[in-house]
Structure formats: structure tokens, C-alpha cells
Structure 1
Amino acid sequence: MHTFDLNLDRLTKVEGSASLEVRVKDNKVEHVHFKITEYKRFFTEAMNGKPITALPQLLSRICGTCSNAHLMASIEACERAIGITPTEQTMALRNLTMYGLNIRDHALHLYLFVMP
């Protein structure tokens, strides 16, 4: 039977920095640990004192490739903080936005990371 540990300190072809640990014992995966290894960029502290209406636009700039995801997450956080419940139409439009992001990200990943 095969028993081994696989440790990848620097994963390539991902946006940002990450590591992966895999432990296999007797041909069965026993443990998997995926870890984001980027340093904190202190966006939380930078947002202190800013008006709530400014947060989504500021936070959407965290990442160049997935600004829509950060925009949607920050809007949801603001809504929860002040007790707003979005309408079904709003949720449907947000879901369509995220589906579009998934399609674009898959194309970007294939074109820039996998196929070259």
C-alpha cells in the first residue's frame, strides 16, 4: 500500500498565494489542507470611519480579477449590518452577475493559466 505526504508550498496558476498539504495512507486520502498564504492587507482597518455607502465601491477594488465578487459580498455585508432584505428580483440579478463572473473566470483561467 502507498503511504505518503505531499506538501506544495507555492501553488501556481491560482490568483494570489496558496499552499496545499495532502496525506495519503494505504491508498486513501486521509488529510487535505488548503491554505491561503497571502499576507493581510488590512482592508478592514482602512474602511473604519468610511460611510457605509462608499464601502462596496472601495472594497470591490481588493482584487482586479474578481471585483464583482467583492462588490456583491460587501453589499450583502452592508445590508445585513443595517437590516435590509433584498427583493427576489435583486437576488436574481445578483445571481446572474455571479454566474457571468464564473463564466468569465473560467475562460480567463483556461486562456491565461492552463492552455499556455
Structure 2
Amino acid sequence: MTKFKYFMTIFMTLAIVLSVNARKPKIDELQLIQDKVNQFYKKGYADSAPVEMDFIEQKLKQAREAKQKRKKKIVALLVIEMNADLKLIKKRYEVNQLNSQLMKLQAQNLQSKKTLDELKGQL
């Protein structure tokens, strides 16, 4: 019985050590960026910054070529740039949406002023 306990202790320790050291699957950052680009097109973000979207697609192509040539530093730099560009595009979209709301409010304000002036004229 003690041999069995000794064996189980060693087995469990070995299993824990091996499970902790198991490699995590590598995340394909380029695929994640491609997915984000596709989402941006679906959500309409690309309409607010079409030039930047073209730049991202060019950088994505360069990053894939660099990955095939095993130039990890270039890939890493391009990934950082593309993520920054995607954030910029999203913010530009948000600014455009806010600007659109502002224009609507200004038009409503102008209409309200005209109505107020008409009512003052009737007094």
C-alpha cells in the first residue's frame, strides 16, 4: 500500500509539473487583426477612414510576407502599427458620429430660433 501511495504521489507531482509547463497555443496576431479589419468593414468604420484602411491592408500583407521570411521583429512592429491604426479609425468613426449629432442639434437650434423669432413678431 505504501508503494502505491508513493507511486501516486510521484505520478500526481509529475502530472502537475507537466500540465503547468504545457505550451499554450500561439495566437496568430495577424489573423486577429484580419478579423478586426473585417469587423470594421461590417460596422461601417472603414467609411470614416478609407485611406487608413488601405494602409492597414498593405501593412497586413507586408506582415504576412515578413512572417514567411521569419522576420519576427518586423512582424511585431507592423502588428503594433496596425493596432494603433485600428484604434485611430475607431476614434475617427466616433468623432464623425458625434459631429453628425452636433450638426443635427445645430439645425434644430436654428429652427427653434426661427420659430421663436416668429412668435416674438406675433406679440
Fold match (TM-score > 0.5): no
* TM bracket (short chain): 0.3 to 0.5
More helix per residue: 2
For CA contacts below 8 A with separation 6 or more, give which structure has more relative contact order. Answer: 2
Q: What TM-score, normalized to structure 1?
A: 0.37
Structure number, greater radius of gyration: 2
